[in-house]
Structure 1
Amino acid sequence: MPRSAWPLSEVVVRFAAQVAESADHALAAAGKRAQDRLGQSLCVAVVGRMKAGKSTLLNALLETAISPTAGGECTEAVYVFEPGMHTTAVANRRDGGDPTPVVLDGQTLPRTLPIPAGDLRNIEVTLPVEWLDDAGLVLVDAPGMASTSTEKSALTERIVADTEDAAADADALLFCVNGPLKDDEAAAV
């Protein structure tokens, strides 16, 4: 059952249930899809250029230093933060193979990836963050949308594609900038 944090949420849930009971099969199917989606967590992806402070912002929101931050390009994978009983992390493979446990460096994700970057779909992290659970939120830390390197390597192209996929799959985007809006940022927005 979806979370009903606001009165409007309850109205939308009731409406979807009524539509799901429609005699019109297409309308009923749409109502069932809406019910399924309303039962899922809201996904907010934090996106922007490299070094825009995305991981730092997420660390502040999560009240922990779980995401690695550095002076250079740091986030090389899509990190998915979900509420959970304990702090855990697993690396999910592109081919759907078994997840690989990620060993934390204290309470921080390691700077090196546990599997080759080209094989990695995302790193799924659970955290005991009460407000994340109460709000029914999943937060996504995506790699930067522009590389500071002038060379386009296969890895850079994969990272950019992963960022675009994470943004497209999210319910909402939080677009980080750390100065005047650049042309590519304006185009992305």
Structure 2
Amino acid sequence: MLRRVSPRLVGYAVALTHDPDLAGDLVQDAIVRAVESRNVPADERAFRAWITRILRNLWIDRCRARRRRADRAEAPAGEVADFPAGFRSEDLILNRIVVREAFGRLSASHREILALIDILGFSYGEAAELLGVRPGTVMSRVSRARRDLLRRLSDEGVVPFPAAARRMP
């Protein structure tokens, strides 16, 4: 089960940390905690939510420790998670770079909610349970985060494809 969940866990960690090296450390720490636990969920969906919560809590702990040490709340800068490959034209490649940069400039909370819903594919209910909030709160956070991302992309001249053009035949 861990093998199937690990790639998504890494993607979530990179979205949270904005640093691939730190994300790898965070995933490793989460796996160690999971292996040491006596109450591992047997169901794969429950396991995915459980280990993602472990990772998120570890990240929060690190942020708090860093704030205490550095007396600041800014997340580390670095690379954003790789988005799916398959872009062929130069314009799409440039747009991909702009999207990655715009995603990286989002607040940590906006990166987190978009990573959970749009990258990892969590349902609103699953994300709400993980974050300890109501599904409606998740929906409003996703809406604000998407609006923020679209505004940033629009400022860079990236225009979203019409919905019909995005659908695959």
Instruction: Return the structure number with greater strand share.
Output: 1
The structure with higher relative contact order (CA 8 Å, sep 6+) is 1
Greater helix proportion: 2
Q: Please report the TM-score for the alignment, with normalisation by the length of structure 2.
A: 0.27
* Max Rg structure: 1
TM-score for both structures, normalised by structure 1: 0.25
